[in-house]
Amino acid sequence: MSNSMEDVANAAQAALIIGSNTTEQHPVFGSMLRRAVNKRGLKIVVADPRKIDITEFAVLHLQQNPGTDIALINGLMYIILEKGWEDKAFIEERCEGYDEFKATVKNYPPQKVSEITGIPVEKLYQAAEILSVNRPSAVIWAMGITQHITGVRNVMSLANLQMLLGNMGKPGSGVNPLRGQNNVQGACDMGGLPNVYPGYQPVTNAEAREKFARAWGLKVESGKVEGSEANLQPSTFNLPDKVGLTVTEMIPGLADGRVKALYILGEDPIMSDPDTAHIRHCLEAADFIVLEEIFPSETSPYADVLLPGVSFAEKTGTFTNTERRVQMVRKAVEPVGDARPDWWIIAEVAKRIVAGGGRQIAEGPHAGWDYPDANTIMTEINALTPSYGGITFARLEQGKGLQWPCPTTEHPGTPILHTKQFSRGRGKFMPIDHVPPAELPDDEYPMFLNTGRVLYHYHGGEMTRRASGLMAVYGRPLVEVSPLDAEKLGLEGQQRVRITSRRGSIEAEAWVTDRVPPGMVYANFHFPEASANELTIAALDPTSKIPEYKVCAVKVEVV
Amino acid sequence: MAVKITIDGIPIEAREGQTILQIARERGIHIPTLCYHKDLSPTGNCRICVVEVAKQRFLQAACVTPVWEGMEISTHSERTVRSRKLTLELMLANHPQDCLVCDVSGSCELQDLAYDYQVEVPKWGSKGTRYVADSDPNPFVRVDFNKCILCRRCVLACGEIQVRNVWGVAYRGFEEKIVAGADTTMLDARCESCGQCAAYCPTGALTDKMTYGKGRTHQVTKVTTTCTYCGVGCQFDLNVKDGKIIGVTSNPDAPVNGMALCVKGRYGYDFVHHPERLTRPKVRRYLLEGQAKPKQISKSANQLWEWVETDWETALTITADKFRATRDASGPDSIGFLTSAKCLNEENYLMNKLARQVVGTNNIDHCARL
Ligand code: SF4
Ligand code: SF4
Ligand code: SF4
C-alpha cells in the first residue's frame, strides 16, 4: 500500500474498492472502512461482479462483467477528461507519457464501456463524479484485480486513474493493494522472488550482484578486491544473473524435466495453485520434494521428506503487513514434539549442503549460517537491505512497528510513499487496452466461475480447517448460485451441485444467494473435497505470471 | 478556549467541550467508570462516574458532562461515594454470586468496583438466575445475561467498532435486556463472530466460549504477537497456561487494530495444538534403503513409499545430499524454492540466501501470485 490503513480510513473522502472483498478478506480493515462511512461519511464506490458485504456501505455498486476492469477504468478516465476533472498541476509536475495515454483513453466512450462492462452509462458518470468531487480518494484492491491475465495492466490502469486525479503521495489517497496472506509483503521484501534480492535489488543488476557476492562469500565479477578481503580464499562461483522461474513456471517445469527438485516451505500447491489435476501430475514427476510444514497438507503425499516446522506461536521474528509495517512475532509456547523453527531448519539444510562441497563459499561478512536466533538474521537483513536498514528488534520491541523504507536506526519509518516523487522519478501514464479473459462462457460451459475466500477460512484451509470454532460456523464447502440460475437449474434450497470446467469437476452444496449475479457461480479453495482450483485455468498474466483465478467457464448441474 | 475549573480543590485549565472525565483522566485524577470506554461513545447510563458539582442539585455523570467556566468538581465527596455504593448494590442485587467459579474473576470491572467500594451482595438481592446461562449457540461468544449490568458497551462495540449492529436493548423496566437482532441468535442477527462485544463487556455476561473454564487472567501469561492470517497485521495477546494457548485477548496498544480483531485472529488459534501437527521428521522408506524412487507415487501402495519417522540428523542429511547431488548433476536451475508468505521475514531471507548463495539459482518464489 502506498498509504497506511489508518490513513485511508481517516483521511480519504472517497474510496474505490475494486476486486477486494474487504470485510471478509481483510476484516479489521473492512470494519475500519465501515466506521469511516458511519462516522465521517466516507463515500465508497464498489466495483465487483458480486454483491459483497461492503456494498451495504457503498454509495454506488458497479457490477462489471468479469475481466473487464481495464475497460471500466478507462471509461471512468474518459469521463474525468470529458468533464475536465483531471489534476492538471499534478500531471504537469509529477508525471509523463500523458498524451499517448490520453489517446488510448479516448477510445473508451461511456456507451462502448457500458457494452463491455455491462454497467449502465449513468452509473459510470456517477462513479467518476464521486471519485473526482470527493478528493482525496483512495483506490483499494486485492486479488480480484491481480488474478487475471491482465493483472499487471489492471494495476497500471488504477495507477493511471490515481495520477489523473492527483491522488498520490498525500493522506487519504494512493494505490492500496491489500496483501492476502499475513506475510506476502515480507516474503517479497526478503527476496522471495525470482528477479530480486531483498529490498527489490534486481538480480540482473551487476552492482547488486557484486554487493551480495561480497557479503555471501562468492566470486565478485568485477574482480575488484578490497583491503583485507585480498587474503581470503576466493570462491569461483558467481551469483546467477538470469531471472529465475516463478511458482507458476517451476511446478510445470517438473513435468517437462527443467526442474527436478523442490524445497517447499509452508505452501500447499495442491490447494492453492490453478488446475489441480495438472499440479498433481507435475508434482508426481519430481525427483525429490522436501516439504517443510506444520500439518500433513494435501501436498504431502507428493513429498519425499517432511520436515516439521512450527506455527507463528512457537517462534520469534517479524512479519510485514500490507502497509509495509514490520511487527514482532513472539514465541508464546514451545514447539510441539520435535518440531523446530523454520529458520533453524533452513540453516541446518544450508550448512549441510555447504559442508558437502561442490560450490565453494569463501569467507564474507555474511557468508556463514550460524544463527543463534532470528535477531541475528535481522541484523544481516539490516546490513544488506537498505529499506530495512533501521528496522531492528530493539526498536520493534519498544514501538508500534516500523513502516519501510526505514534506512537508518534514527529514521521514523514511512507511512505514506511517493510524497515528493515516485520511485522512478516521474509517474508514467501507461496506455492500456481492454483484453477479454482467456476463457469465456460458451454453449458447453455457459457460466462464469469466480473464486476466492470466505470470512471463516484462510487460503488452502490448512489451519482454519483445524480450528474447531471456525469449522462449526463454516464446516463444508459452499458454492454460491444466484436465485435466477437456481430456478433455471431446478435447484431447491441447499442441494448439491456439480460444477465442471474443461479441467476438472467438483461437487458441493449450493448456497442460493443474490451475492452472485446471474450467470456466475462462486467457489472457494478452502476444502480439498471440493476445491475451486480443480476447475480454475492456468492462464497466466504474461508479466506477473499470476493465474487467472477470477474467471473461467463452467457448467453447473444439480446432482 | 480555556475553561478554568477546579477538581477536588485543584485549579485546572480545561479546553472548552471537554467532559469532566476527559480532563480528569488527562490530569491523572481517578474517577471510577463502568459503562464508559474510551473507544466508545459515552452514554452516562451506569451512574458510577457521578461527581458532585458545586451549586448543582443532582450529581453529574462525569463521562457526558462538559466542563464550564468556574465549575467546582469533587470526585470523592461523601455524597458521590454513597451514590456509587448504592448503584453498585443495585447491580449486585441482580447479579449471581458466583465469582468463585466465574471465568472473568480478576478481570471483571464490576468485581473491582465492588472491592474498591467494599460493597457486598445485599441480603435482599439475588433471587436466583433469570436467564439460561450459555444461551446462544454462537461457537465463540458465550452469553450469560444473568451477569449483564445493562451497560450497553456490547451494543456500542458491535455498532461503532465492528459496525454490524447485532446487539440492541429490548423490553422495559425489570424486563429490560440485551438482545441480538429481534431477540434471535447472534448468527441469525448477522453476527460476524469478531468477539468485539465480549472484549468490551466489563463483566462475565459476554465471554470467550473457547476459553471458558480453561483459566483466569491471573493464571495466564500474555504474549503480544502478530496475527498469522491476513495481511492487515493485527496484534493481540496469546493467553498461555501450562504451555498451551487457551485464548486470545485484545491488546489496546496494537498499532493497526487497537482492540478490534476478526474471527480468525481471535478464535482461529486452536490449530496450534491440533493432534495432526507434524512432530517428527519423516522420510520415504526408499531414501533410507538407498533404493530408487518408486514410479507413479500417487497410486503407490509400494512399501518403499511409506513414511518413516526419523531423527533430525537423518532427515537433514538426506535433504542436503539430494539437493547437492541434483545441483551438481543437473545444474543449480534444476532446483526450485517455494518460500512462504506465512513464514517470518527472517525465514524468507534465509530461503533467498539458500537458493542464491548455496545452490546458485534464482528459482525462488512464493504464493503472492496465488
Ligand atoms: S461477535 Fe462481533 S459481530 Fe458478533 S455481536 Fe459481537 S461484536 Fe457484533
Ligand atoms: S452484555 Fe456485557 S457489555 Fe453488554 S450490556 Fe451486559 S454487561 Fe454490558
Ligand atoms: S485478526 Fe483478522 S483482520 Fe486482523 S490480521 Fe488476523 S485475520 Fe487479518
The reported pLDDT for the residue numbered A415 is: 82
ipTM for the whole complex = 0.91
The reported pLDDT for the residue numbered A234 is: 58
The reported pLDDT for the residue numbered A359 is: 82
H helix count then E strand count, chain A: 20, 21
d(CA A469, CA A456): 9
The reported pLDDT for the residue numbered A222 is: 66
Q: Residues 480-539, chain A: which have Cβ within 8 Å of B?
A: none
Using 50, 70 and 90 to split pLDDT, how confident is the model at B298?
low
Question: What lines the ligand 3 site, CB under 6 Å?
Answer: A 26-28; B 227, 229-230, 232-234, 257, 261-262, 264-265
User: pTM above 0.80?
Assistant: yes
Is the confidence at residue B172, as pLDDT, over 90?
A: no
Question: What lines the ligand 2 site, CB under 6 Å?
Answer: B 148-154, 178, 201-203, 205-206
Q: Is A56 within 8 Å of chain B by CB?
A: no
Q: How far is the CA of A294 from the centre of ligand 1 (A)?
A: 31
Tell me the Ramachandran region of residue B213: left when phi exceeds 0, alpha when psi lies from -120 to 50, beta otherwise. left
Chain A residue with CA closest to B336: the answer is A262
In terms of DSSP H, where are the helices of chain B? 20-26, 78-93, 109-116, 153-156, 196-200, 263-267, 285-288, 312-330, 345-353
Q: Model confidence over B346-361: pLDDT tens digits?
A: 999 999 999 999 999 9
Using 50, 70 and 90 to split pLDDT, how confident is the model at B74?
very high
* Binary contact (A287, B327; C-beta < 8 A): no
Domain coordinates in residue numbering, chain B: 2-76, 129-273
Q: How far apart are the first and last CA of chain B?
A: 55
In terms of DSSP H, where are the helices of A149-304? 151-164, 184-189, 206-216, 247-255, 269-272, 276-284
- Determine the residue of B155, B163, B167 to mutate for testing ligand 1's pocket, defined as the one with the most ligand atoms within 8 A of the Cβ atom: B167
Q: Model confidence over B243-283: pLDDT tens digits?
A: 999 999 999 999 999 999 999 999 999 999 999 999 999 99
Per CB-CB distance under 8 Å, the chain B contacts of A250 are 336, 338, 363, 365
Per CATH, the architecture of A184-403 is what?
A: 3-Layer(aba) Sandwich (3.40)
C-alpha cell read off for A415: 507511512
Q: How far is the CA of B153 from the centre of ligand 1 (A)?
A: 12
- Determine the residue of B108, B153, B259 to mutate for testing ligand 2's pocket, defined as the one with the most ligand atoms within 8 A of the Cβ atom: B153
* Binary contact (B243, A334; C-beta < 8 A): yes
Per CB-CB distance under 8 Å, the chain B contacts of A456 are 193, 263-264
Per CB-CB distance under 8 Å, the chain A contacts of B359 are 353, 359
Chain B residue with CA closest to A466: the answer is B271
Q: Give phi and psi for A169, each to the nearest 5.
A: 70, 15
Q: Chains A and B: how many Cβ contacts under 8 Å? A: 500
Helix H, strand E, coil C: the string for A491-548 is CCCCCEEEEECCCCEEEEEEEECCCCCCCEEEEECCCHHHCHHHCCCCCECCCCCCEC
Q: At what angle do helices B345-353 and A342-355 cross, to 10 degrees?
A: 10
Q: Residues 357-396, chain A: which have Cβ within 8 Å of B?
A: 357-359, 361, 367, 371, 374, 377-378, 380-381
Chain B residue with CA closest to A301: the answer is B298
Is the CB of B34 within 6 Å of ligand 1?
A: no
d(CA A431, CA A454): 35
Residue A96 · residue A162 · CB < 8 Å: no
The reported pLDDT for the residue numbered A223 is: 61
In terms of DSSP H, where are the helices of A84-120? 88-94, 98-105, 110-117
* Binary contact (A346, B347; C-beta < 8 A): yes
Q: How far is the CA of B308 from the centre of ligand 1 (A)?
A: 46
Q: Which one of B39, B212, B232 makes the best mutation probe of the A interface by having the most chain A beta carbons within 10 Å?
A: B232
Chain A residue with CA closest to B321: the answer is A353
Chain B residue with CA closest to A218: the answer is B357
Q: Is the dihedral of CA A519, A525, A526, A528 positive or negative?
A: positive
Q: Which one of B244, B267, B278, B321 makes the best mutation probe of the A interface by having the most chain A beta carbons within 10 Å?
A: B278
DSSP state of A240: P
d(CA A187, CA A406): 17
* Binary contact (B365, A244; C-beta < 8 A): yes
C-alpha cell read off for A324: 509495509
CATH number of the structural domain A5-178: 3.40.228.10
Q: Is the dihedral of CA A178, A181, A183, A184 positive or negative?
A: negative
In this structure, are strands B364-365 and B335-338 parallel, antiparallel, or unpaired? parallel
The reported pLDDT for the residue numbered A224 is: 57
Q: How far is A479 from chain B, CA to nearest CA, in Å?
A: 19
Minimal-distance CA residue to ligand 1 atom 4: B191
DSSP-based three-state secondary structure for B2: strand
Q: How far is A12 from chain B, CA to nearest CA, in Å?
A: 17
Closest ligand (CA of B256):
3
Q: How far is the CA of B26 from the centre of ligand 2 (A)?
A: 27
C-alpha cell read off for A23: 470485510
Is the confidence at residue B369, as pLDDT, over 70?
A: no
C-alpha cell read off for A70: 481495464
Q: At what angle do helices A276-284 and A247-255 cross, to 10 degrees?
A: 60
The reported pLDDT for the residue numbered B124 is: 75
Nearest-atom number in ligand 2 for the CA of B178 is: 5
Residue B183 · residue B145 · CB < 8 Å: no
H helix count then E strand count, chain B: 9, 16
- Determine the residue of B108, B206, B207, B259 to mutate for testing ligand 2's pocket, defined as the one with the most ligand atoms within 8 A of the Cβ atom: B206
d(CA B261, CA A311): 19
* Residues of chain A scoring pLDDT < 50: 227-231
Is the confidence at residue B211, as pLDDT, over 60?
A: yes
Residue B33 · residue B110 · CB < 8 Å: no
Per CB-CB distance under 8 Å, the chain B contacts of A365 are none
Residue A456 · residue A474 · CB < 8 Å: yes
Residue in A376, A400, A396, A378 with CA at minimum distance from that of residue A388 = A378
Q: Model confidence over B22-41: pLDDT tens digits?
A: 999 999 999 999 999 999 99
Minimal-distance CA residue to ligand 3 atom 6: B265
Q: How far is the CA of B21 from the centre of ligand 3 (A)?
A: 32
Chain A residue with CA closest to B188: the answer is A473
Per CB-CB distance under 8 Å, the chain B contacts of A248 are 369
Per CB-CB distance under 8 Å, the chain B contacts of A242 are 362
The reported pLDDT for the residue numbered B165 is: 94
Q: Is A42 within 8 Å of chain B by CB?
A: no
Q: Is A314 within 8 Å of chain B by CB?
A: yes
* Binary contact (B287, A244; C-beta < 8 A): no
CATH number of the structural domain A447-558: 2.40.40.20
Whether the link from the prior residue into B139 is cis, omega within 30° of 0, is no
C-alpha cell read off for A399: 514501538
d(CA B222, CA B106): 14
Q: Locate CATH 3.40.228.10 in chain A.
A: 5-178
Q: How far is B293 from chain A, CA to nearest CA, in Å?
A: 8
Q: How far is the CA of A455 from the centre of ligand 2 (A)?
A: 26
* Binary contact (B363, A244; C-beta < 8 A): yes
Per CATH, the architecture of B2-76 is what?
A: Roll (3.10)
d(CA A49, CA A330): 40
Q: How far is B194 from chain A, CA to nearest CA, in Å?
A: 9
Q: How far is the CA of B274 from the centre of ligand 1 (A)?
A: 26
Residue A141 · residue A420 · CB < 8 Å: no
Is the confidence at residue B125, as pLDDT, over 80?
A: no
CATH number of the structural domain B129-273: 3.30.70.20
